[in-house]
Structure 1
Amino acid sequence: PCPLPLQMLWLLVLTLPCLGGSVPVTSDPGPGTELVGIMGGHDAANGKWPWQVGLWFLDPTSSQWNLRCGGSLIHPQWVLTAAHCIPGRNPVTRDFKVQLGRVRPSYSDSVQVARIIRHPKYSLENGVSGGADVALLKLEAPVQPSNLVMWIRLPPASSPFPPGTRCWVTGWGLIAPGELLPPPHNLQEVEVPIVANEICQQQYGNVITDDMLCAGSEGRVTCQGDSGGPLVCQWRGTWVQVGVVSWGPQYCLPNVPTVYARVTSFLPWIHLHIHSSP
């Protein structure tokens, strides 16, 4: 069975793309599944995580908009999410919209995506287990900051976030294996400790690469539906984003950490696109 990312599944009636075939979301996703859900969390207050966004995707088969993934606003006009949240070899920008400033899913006032950039090292064939699971989305127009909408800072390249550092992850995904976030689908938050890559490798084998970061503790991890969402930590009195929800164990095991794309590994690529863009 192939790796499944943590895409939002509670609104998806889709099967997930996997190595050219399709896998029903109920099937055994194998050792590395793309994740999208918070286990052990609780409701987030309005405006507490103002950089959290929801990524909506127009399902070509049903012609319905579905909340597919999370993401984060990292600049007035740019969103950071997971590469596996963008299906297909040639994604079309008009099929994607971004919800800002809301703790409950709402497509009504979402912003159109104008440009999609998957990391060049992300492999559609290998999926999340190949690493480089990051993508940038440029919005049609810059957003105005408010008490509900604000971008998150990126960490300095040298910033140390040692194992045990307490950070927070947010998302709308499953709250237990096979259990959808119940109405009114309020954004969930959970505090998780960073786990050393060496410890993480003991759980997953040697698939944990340098551009990945692990976090989670007993009963506090992500599950299907949180993909693309931000892992944020306090650094010198301000919040910075250190990870992007990428993948995790099959069945959302409560004692196995979630794997994130390590943001510091991609800073040059992120800055290149954000600052060279007209």
Structure 2
Amino acid sequence: QEVRWIILMEKVLNPTGYPRTISGYPRTIGYSRIINGEEAVPHSWPWQVSLQYSNGFHFCGGSLVNKNWVVTAAHCDVRTPHRVILGEHDRSSNAENIQVMKVFKHPHYNYGVRFNNDIQLVKLASSAKMNTHVSPVCVAETGDYIPGGTKCVTTGWGLTHSDSPNTPTRLQQVALPLLTNEQCRRYFGNSLSRQMICAGASGVSSCKGDSGGPLVCQKAGAWTLVGIVSWGSGDCNPRRPAVYARVTKLRAWMDQIITAN
């Protein structure tokens, strides 16, 4: 069964505002500690956000792309009463809490195939305060090519086991390889569109609660947002890949929304 991975309650000229110099370079380096899914080095992924209900329940992840905007998955269905938590490692800590001003879901979400164009942009009600714990991620350009086999990283507070009763309080990280879409179709067939990219099938995986969070790969030394956690097998099987919204195919829409708003 294929499921969305959301937890439900039971200046150079730069019109888009994307940072050109400081994004993708966390002050705290954590990649050397990544093995096969473990707690992240605190604040080593400073663009990671937790999307929460007003009662503090974490339901999705997201990525800070500039001081006013967060990108996440469309299926997370963010609403204005929800909260965006920045600079958090341990979800029991007091981190920066910002309200949602407006949400822009891709107009062709679910078009053609389920979870197609699984992206939405969240405009913050107030600008994020940048510091060592909070900084934006670089965003892949439309023309970027990241080959299959590239080792990338995904992060989140999703389930560490598919049958776990609770999500972890501390941010988790995992390194996993990109797959070509030809490789991924062996698992998911026609459920895969050109707006999707796969990673994993290597003994590690993202899982429920990671939805909307980042898949980042290094480009010229900077961590760059390549995918947005979208969907996968119902049991989070680490021998099957996870599927992400492909940022290179969605970057033009992101630019359009951010520039116009």
Check 1:170–1:141 CA distance in 2 against 1; reply closer, same or farther (3 A cut). same
Alpha-carbon distance, 1:182 to partner: 6.3
Matched, 1:139 2:139: no
Does the 8 Å CA contact 1:77/1:142 hold for their aligned counterparts?
Answer: yes
Check 1:173–1:182 CA distance in 2 against 1; reply closer, same or farther (3 A cut). closer
**Which of 86, 93, 99 does residue 100 from structure 1 map onto?**
86
**Which of 134, 158, 169 does residue 149 from structure 1 map onto?**
134
Alpha-carbon distance, 1:180 to partner: 4.5
Alpha-carbon distance, 1:224 to partner: 0.9
Does the 8 Å CA contact 1:56/1:107 hold for their aligned counterparts?
Answer: no
Secondary structure of 2:109's partner?
coil
Aligned to 2:77: 86
**Which of 59, 78, 81 does residue 68 from structure 1 map onto?**
59
Matched, 1:168 2:148: no
Cα distance in 2 between the residues matched to 1:225 and 1:74: 20
Which amino acid is the alignment partner of residue 41 of structure 1?
Answer: G
Alpha-carbon distance, 1:211 to partner: 0.3
Secondary structure of 1:193's partner?
strand
Alpha-carbon distance, 1:131 to partner: 0.4
Secondary structure of 1:267's partner?
helix
Which aligned pairs between 1:1-278 and structure 2 lie closer than 5 A? 3-8=2-7, 12-13=9-10, 40-58=36-54, 64-86=55-77, 91=79, 93=80, 95-106=81-92, 109-123=96-110, 129-180=114-165, 185-277=169-261
The unaligned stretches of length 5 or more in structure 2 are 11-34
Aligned Cα root-mean-square deviation (Å) = 2.1
CA offsets per residue over residues 136-183 of structure 1, 9 Å max, x none? 000011112110000001112211110000000001011111114566
The unaligned stretches of length 5 or more in structure 1 are 14-38, 59-63
Alpha-carbon distance, 1:268 to partner: 1.0
Alpha-carbon distance, 1:7 to partner: 0.9
CA offsets per residue over residues 79-130 of structure 1, 9 Å max, x none? 000000016xxx4x1x21100001122585410000011000014xx79824
State, as a whole percentage, how many aligned pairs show the same letter.
39
TM-score norm. by structure 1 comes to: 0.80
CA offsets per residue over residues 46-97 of structure 1, 9 Å max, x none? 2200000000124xxxxx442110000011100000000016xxx4x1x211
Cα distance in 2 between the residues matched to 1:193 and 1:4: 21
Secondary structure of 1:222's partner?
coil
